[in-house]
Amino acid sequence: MHQEKLNSGQRKAVEFSGKHLLVLAGAGTGKTKTIISRAAHLINTGVDPSKIQILTFTKKAANEIVERVKSNLPQSQGNALNGATFHSWCNQLIVRYPNLFGAASYTVVDPDDQLSIMKMVCGNNKLEFGKLRIKPQQLIDVYSFARNTKKSLTQALRIKLFKNKEDADTDYELSVIKPHVENLLRAYQAKKGIQRYLDYDDLLLVVATQLGNNPEARTILSQNLDYLLVDEMQDTNPLQWQLLDPFVHICHLFCVGDDAQSIYSFRGADFKNVHLFKERVPDSEVYKLEKNYRSTQEILDLSNWLLKKSPIDYKKQLESIRGNGEIPQLINVTDEWQEANWVADEILKNYTDEDRSFSDHLVLSRSQYYTKSLQAVFIRRKIPYVTYGGRKFMQAAHIKDLVSLLRIVNNPYDEIAWIRFLTFQEGIGEVRASRILQQVIEATEGADIPEILQNAMPGEDGSKISKLYSSIKEKTNVGAMVDEAYEAMSLGLAFRYRRDWDEKRKGDFPVLKLLAQSYPTLGEFIGEGLLDNAEQMNGTNVLSESKLNTDEDKDHVIISTVHSAKGLEADVCIVLNVSPKAFPSSWSLDDLEAIEEDRRVLYVALTRAKNRLILTRNTSSISAVHNRTLPSRAGEKTSDAESYFLEGMPDNLVEQKTIAQQFGNVQDAATPNTIDLSSGMDFS
């Protein structure tokens, strides 16, 4: 991005010459442009591109930033610039410095594999304590939450299993289950170590621990890193802060974020990483970007008002560069079906009367489940749409089948991959696979895997698999490894997934090869590929009747949860069910921190709109908001009505409209009858 295209606030941040900087970038203020311009400015002023690292939360965002930096530099000048997600970058460091981090030949496991490992650890043990039953997935959730938030096991159990309840019964149950959970989590950690597995959190922990405890690690990394540029700083959690903290003394930090858009506390994100940046980072400054390029001023007036109502001082007032436009609408409805039909009417009217496309519309909701009635109406009225979500590319069963072969080549201790690959072979069930695996694991140290396979599987099967293993192991090109594996497994894959092989699955393997070719080593491909689960390689999940899953037709309404909408924007944004007990959620009413996160969720939703913002509200819930009280910060009681975010909203901020119930014409009796209440009860 050329310097003359920056406003004064952006230019000041881009040309910052101090040690560390936090850029508080409000919604739509050009934070991506600023971080791109910062990288280009550093390179133009003589900084080696290879010593600049850009960190963000999706690979797509990282790639976009890097490519846009390169497009504004002379040819090849920015080729050495690296952009990655936190987990991806840590994986790269672990692979690049195998001795330093001690994780050579470890396999990165995805959430499905984590669950498999935990189930192995739990075995047939039933964790039942009175009415409380703990499932393996809950153990993983507690384990991950504790590590990402740096909370104790006791705290994590109280939050994740007991929803923060504090009473004598809860304390007793907690004291009973904690030793059992601790034993299982310790066994899970040991199992990962034995089988050389790293889960996603381990990637960050391994690097953060070495950097925090080992001066040599800091020295080695400081030689290859001068500037660390962090995007979406408000989404970082305490573990990610632990990772970033040593770099305060290693290089220059340039962090961009918005504490008012921190909405991922359920993943452990802590808005204090932005809110307390200056206190935590010596020699740091904070600049603000408040000029908004996305929305009209009326949309920002409502968003600014929402933040000002918060007890947290966000110190920001967004100002539209584009000037004035339409006042946001607040549509009062009586139920979700009326809401869905009104939304469909509005979109079709815009499509026909205003010549807007379907893709000009973004519909946001707290949950995808809430939109089921809307989706049903869209299907019936033939409105094309896509939803954000669905199974990710590397998690699809047919992809995991093939990758299981590559995983055992990379790490012979990978029990999960061995079982998956062996049971894929015709005639091998789980019992036989377990016997083969036992022989492989026992003989792996100092032995040749193909030889072990032939001993464990006498005959044609063992010979075939051992030759395949050797053939893949000998290849240096990761794309060629995928080709070799596919050639060997394609018939089996086509048979196993015969119902939708040609239509859906077969075309994924050229994509897998293309992905593999971009990695220099098999270990990096397996680790990075798994980490890309946040990105859908095979396109958005299409649920509409028109099946818009081709590149030729991309005109569709987007239906998204607010949490999946970060980075999205649309000409017309419709936010569903901005009602009491939804904003804030009824689950949040006893937790003031949760209430404020819900406020930030709504703020994110409002600031997605460019020209027209529409909120819908269920009027049946409004009358119920005065019925209970909740504790406030100062200790006095406040009502649900006072916590409802739109309570007390000035009339001039929105244009309200109430949708009347539609009744058909009916013919009543000519004269009124007398009510008879004597029937219907037998008093004998």
Count other C-beta atoms under 10 Å from residue 528's C-beta: 23
**Taking the mean position of all CA atoms in its chain, how far away is CA 48?**
32
pLDDT-derived band at 664 (thresholds 50, 70, 90) equals low
Residues 261 and 246 in one domain: yes
In angstroms, the Cα distances linking 474 to 106, 274, 404, 645 are: 19, 48, 17, 62
Residue 513 pLDDT > 50:
yes
The last residue of a domain, from among 250, 266, 289: 289
Q: Of 532, 560, 580, which residue sits at a domain end? A: 532
Quickly state the pLDDT bin for 538 (edges 50, 70, 90): very low
Out of 382-396, 406-420, 499-513, least confident range: 382-396
Same domain, 429 and 525: yes
Which residues, 6+ apart, have CB-to-CB distance to 649 below 8 Å?
Answer: 302, 305
Quickly state the pLDDT bin for 665 (edges 50, 70, 90).
Answer: low
In a domain, 501, yes or no: yes
Q: Are residues 422 and 484 in the same domain?
A: yes
Q: What mean pLDDT comes out for the span 522-535?
A: 66
Q: Give CA–CA dist 92/20, Å, rounded.
A: 24
Is 29 annotated to bind ligand?
yes
pLDDT at 269 over 50: yes
Query: What confidence tier does 634 reach under pLDDT thresholds 50, 70, 90?
Result: very low
Residue 240: pLDDT above 90? yes
The pairing of beta strand 629-631 with beta strand 637-639: antiparallel
Q: Count the neighbouring beta carbons within 10 Å of the beta carbon of residue 275.
A: 21
Give a yes or no: residue 681 inside a domain: no
Does the residue 240 lie in any domain?
A: yes
Is 387 flagged in the annotation as binding?
A: no
Give the three-state DSSP class for 557: strand
- CA-CA distance, 65 to 348, in Å (whole number)? 36
Whether 359 and 419 share a structural domain = no
**Same-domain check for residues 191 and 218:** no
Query: Is residue 622 very low, low, confident or very high in pLDDT (cuts 50, 70, 90)?
Result: low
DSSP string, 398-423: HHHHHHHHHHHHH-TT-HHHHHHHHH
Query: Which structure tokens are listed for 259?
Result: 């504490």
| pLDDT higher than 60, residue 641 | no
- Mean pLDDT along residues 36-43: 93
Across the range 431-446, mean pLDDT stands at: 77
Antiparallel, parallel or unpaired: β 361-365 and 557-561:
parallel
Is the pLDDT assigned to residue 553 strictly greater than 60?
no
Tokens 């649900």 belong to residue: 640
Share of the chain above pLDDT 90, in %: 44
Ramachandran assignment for 183, one of left (phi > 0), alpha (psi -120 to 50 degrees), beta (any other)? alpha
Q: For position 480, which CATH number holds?
A: 1.10.486
As a whole number, mean pLDDT of residues 346-363 equals 94
Same domain, 225 and 356: no
In a domain? residue 88:
yes
Same domain (yes/no): 324, 371: yes
30 is in an annotated binding site: yes
Assess whether 119 and 152 both reside in one domain: yes
In a domain, 670, yes or no: no
Residues 6+ apart with CB under 8 A from 271: 234, 259, 262, 265, 600
Give the number of other Cβ atoms within 10 Å of residue 373's Cβ: 15
Q: Give residue 623's pLDDT.
A: 57
Looking at per-residue pLDDT, the higher value among 441 and 64 belongs to 64
CA gap 467, 457 in Å, rounded:
13
* Residue bearing the bigger pLDDT, 347 or 545: 347
Residue 31 annotated as part of some ligand binding site: yes
d(CA 147, CA 133): 22
How far is the C-alpha of 128 from the C-alpha of 176, rounded, in Å? 11
Q: What is the pLDDT of residue 43?
A: 92
If asked whether residues 374 and 398 sit together in one domain, one would say: no
Contact 440, 456 (CB under 8 A): yes
d(CA 296, CA 644): 25
Q: Which residue has the higher pLDDT, 126 or 606?
A: 606
φ and ψ at 317, to 5 degrees?
-140, 100
CB atoms within 10 A of CB 278: 12
- Top-ranked range on mean pLDDT: pick from 15-19, 460-464, 499-503: 15-19
Q: Is residue 684 part of a domain?
A: no
Spatial separation of the C-alpha atoms in residues 258 and 26, rounded to whole Å? 6
pLDDT at 447 over 80: no
Q: Does the pLDDT value for residue 241 go beyond 50?
A: yes
Average pLDDT of the chain, as a whole number: 84
Contact indicator for 174, 154 with CB cutoff of 8 Å: yes
Nearest to 233 by CA among 89, 21, 90, 40: 21
- CA dist., res. 7 & res. 319, Å (int): 13
- Mean pLDDT calculated for residue range 157-173: 80
Considering its fold, how many domains does the chain have in total?
4
417 is in an annotated binding site: no
What Å distances lie between residue 570 and 355, 359, 402, 440, CA to CA? 15, 8, 39, 55
Check whether 320 has a pLDDT greater than 90. Answer: yes
Of the pLDDT bands very low, low, confident and very high (cuts 50, 70, 90), residue 204 is: very high
Residues whose CB is less than 8 angstroms from the CB of residue 623 and which lie 6 or more positions away in sequence, other chains included:
none
Whether 545 maps to a domain, the answer reads: no
The yes-or-no verdict on residue 544 having pLDDT over 50 is no
- The answer to whether residues 384 and 398 belong to one domain is no
State the CATH number of the domain containing residue 354. 3.40.50.300
pLDDT of residue 547: 30
Report the pLDDT averaged over residues 416-435.
87
pLDDT at 610: 96
Amino acid identity of 118? M
Q: Which of 5, 1, 32, 19 is nearest to 254 (CA)?
A: 19
- Summarised one tens digit per residue, pLDDT across range 180-201 is 899 999 999 999 999 899 999 9
Residue 671 annotated as binding site: no
Residue 680 lies in a domain: no
Closest CA relative to residue 55, chosen from 205, 255, 225, 280: 255
Residue 642 binned pLDDT confidence (cut-offs 50, 70, 90): low
Distance of CA 611 to the CA centre of its chain: 27
Cβ(541)–Cβ(368) below 8 Å: no
Q: Is the pLDDT of residue 381 over 70?
A: yes
DSSP string, 111-168: HHHHHHHHHHHHTT---EETTEE--HHHHHHHHHHHHHHT--HHHHHHHHTTTT--SH
Q: Which domain holds residue 149?
A: 107-195
Is 78 labeled as ligand-binding?
Answer: no
**Phi–psi pair at 180, nearest 5 degrees:** -65, -45
Q: Are 10 and 36 in contact (CB under 8 A)?
A: no
Q: Within a 13 Å sphere around the CA of 252, how many CA atoms are in the beta-carbon half?
A: 16
Task: Give yes or no for residue 532 having a pLDDT over 90.
Answer: no
Question: What's the mean pLDDT in 253-277?
Answer: 85
Helix/strand/coil (H, E, C) string of 48-71?
CHHHEEEEECCHHHHHHHHHHHHH
Band of pLDDT at residue 444, cut at 50, 70 and 90: low
What percentage of the chain has pLDDT greater than the value 70? 89
DSSP count for the chain of H helices, then E strands: 27, 21
Q: Which has the closest alpha carbon to 22: 211, 222, 234?
A: 234
Last residue of one domain, picked from the residues 135, 163, 195: 195
Query: Does residue 136 sit in the same domain as residue 249?
Result: no
- Widest pairwise Cα distance in the chain: 99
| Domain shared by 71 and 143, yes or no | no
Mean pLDDT of 221-227: 92
